[in-house]
A = this chain, B = another copy of it.
Amino acid sequence: MSIITGNAVVFTQGGPTAVINASWVGVVEGLMNAKEITGIYGSMHGIDGILNEDFVDLRAQSVATLQAVSRTPATALLSTRHKPNADDNKKMLEIFKKYNIRYVFGAGGNDTSESLDIINDAAKSIEYELRLFHVAKTVDNDLMENDHTPGYASAARYVANAFRGVDLDNQCFGGVYLGVCMGRHAGFLTAASALGRTAPDSGPHLVYVPEMAFDVAQFVKDVEAVYKKYGRCVIAVSEGIEDKNHTPILQLLSTGNLEADSHGNVQLSGTGALADALIGKIKEHLEGNGTVKKLRARGDTFGYLQRSFPDQSPVDYAETIGLGKFAAQMALSGNIDGSVAMQRVSNAPYKMEYKLVKLKSVAGKTRHLPREHVNAAGNNVTDAFIKWGKPLIGELYQFGVLDTSKKVAKK
């Protein structure tokens, strides 16, 4: 297959991650010296930059700048959640022609892969020769064909470190602590709360993911059982937990109006309502049935820091730069389109490989936490999940443990 000559455009869409810059910098590095690539454009604000012809010249950036940007969280190419309609697609194709754009690389999640698929079909329908690639990205880790996605491991590292810290904090006073994690339909990020456990009684003691039907009555009983055992309970909950009828728990317990984005998704992040409501239910139950007179119970919503805290997992960074380079290589070796994915070859030793998969096998679909990663009761992760997750997040802080068995004899 012949390699077409023309300009390349790279863009980023959806929620940023700690390593999304590494995705597109990897693509740029992979294309940098290819003579078929006449120019490398960075489209600002995702596809909006194409529609507005707002392109930064990425070949004009210094090596040092690209390197530094790749280590920086969030996306320097900015983002959008704009879902292209028929008019947008028509306009984009005209702009591709005008600028002789022949290579398109979009980093994003499910919604982005869907948008790219639509653009690709539109180009094919008018027989415009385009090389179009989706570069997997999402902290939610919910893309089909991927063992894990760029951005997930850094967010998981943050969540694991955060729960290690709040678990020690909770030990100091006892009581209940609940942390709400991102995850609309997939529980991978919430499950990562368990990756920092250091002892059999370490929190989180309970983990609730959107894949399992959430029952408020059972939930408060679960909390009661842990509280009676340890005098404390640390809980991780996905923002997207739903009841058996798939009604979001936030919606069930919330009194205010909920906001939806352009893809029709109800806003779950950026509000503390779910944590506050669940803490209310726990207090009602444990104080109501006399388990404790006055429960110390606190709820935090981890919010945007999960994706924006500037602490990249070293594994995530290295793999993401590589995935971008792999996308460039696929484009320069004659492939027409697809999504570049990360698949696991083996767990011990940890080994991952890149693969070009069909765009339609990723576009708009959602991958879920495997059933074997959740326990039978649906209130915790399994060892299988821990083994899967640990290689991704890098070394955590080392903690010391006081030997409290060495007591002073009572007089």
Q: Which residues of A contact B (CB under 8 A)?
A: 16, 18, 21, 39, 41-42, 44, 53-57, 60-61, 65-81, 98-99, 161-162, 164-166, 168-169, 171-173, 177, 256, 269-273, 275-276, 279, 297-305, 307-311, 396-404, 406-408, 410-411
* Chain B residues positioned under 8 Å from A16 (CB to CB): 168-169, 172
Which chain B residue lies CB-closest to A399? B72
Inter-chain contact B402/A69, CB cutoff 8 Å: yes
* Chain B residues positioned under 8 Å from A72 (CB to CB): 168, 399-401
Sample 12 A-B pairs with CB under 8 A, ordered by A number. A16-B172, A55-B408, A67-B400, A71-B399, A72-B399, A73-B168, A74-B165, A74-B171, A74-B172, A79-B172, A270-B300, A300-B301
Min CB gap A273→B, angstroms:
7
Which chain B residue lies CB-closest to A280? B256
A389 and B319 CA atoms in complex are apart in Å by 36
Min CB gap A309→B, angstroms:
5
The answer to whether A71 and B398 touch (CB under 8 A), given A165-B308, A172-B78, A272-B271, is yes
* Chain B residues positioned under 8 Å from A276 (CB to CB): 256, 271-273
* Chain B residues positioned under 8 Å from A173 (CB to CB): 78-81
Inter-chain contact B310/A399, CB cutoff 8 Å: yes
- Residue in A55, A60, A272, A298 with the greatest tally of chain B CB atoms within 10 Å: A272
The answer to whether A162 and B279 touch (CB under 8 A), given A272-B272, A310-B397, is no
Inter-chain contact B74/A168, CB cutoff 8 Å: yes
Min CB gap A155→B, angstroms:
11
Which chain B residue lies CB-closest to A9? B408
* Chain B residues positioned under 8 Å from A98 (CB to CB): 411
* Chain B residues positioned under 8 Å from A396 (CB to CB): 310
Min CB gap A66→B, angstroms:
8
Min CB gap A151→B, angstroms:
12
A303 and B304 CA atoms in complex are apart in Å by 13
* Chain B residues positioned under 8 Å from A18 (CB to CB): 165
The answer to whether A308 and B402 touch (CB under 8 A), given A57-B407, A408-B41, is no
A64 and B323 CA atoms in complex are apart in Å by 42
* Chain B residues positioned under 8 Å from A76 (CB to CB): 400-402, 404
The answer to whether A99 and B411 touch (CB under 8 A), given A169-B307, A279-B270, A310-B161, is yes
Which chain B residue lies CB-closest to A18? B165
Interface residue from B41, B61, B73, B300 paired with A305 (Cβ < 8 Å): B300
Inter-chain contact A70/B400, CB cutoff 8 Å: yes
Min CB gap A71→B, angstroms:
6
Inter-chain contact A172/B75, CB cutoff 8 Å: yes
* Chain B residues positioned under 8 Å from A400 (CB to CB): 21, 65-72, 76
Inter-chain contact B407/A55, CB cutoff 8 Å: yes
The answer to whether A406 and B61 touch (CB under 8 A), given A79-B172, A164-B310, is yes
Min CB gap A349→B, angstroms:
27
* Chain B residues positioned under 8 Å from A74 (CB to CB): 165, 168-169, 171-172
A256 and B399 CA atoms in complex are apart in Å by 38
A410 and B171 CA atoms in complex are apart in Å by 60
- Residue in A70, A75, A397 with the greatest tally of chain B CB atoms within 10 Å: A397
The answer to whether A403 and B300 touch (CB under 8 A), given A168-B308, A272-B275, A311-B397, is no
A60 and B21 CA atoms in complex are apart in Å by 50
Inter-chain contact A161/B309, CB cutoff 8 Å: yes
Min CB gap A102→B, angstroms:
15
The answer to whether A406 and B305 touch (CB under 8 A), given A68-B400, A398-B71, is no
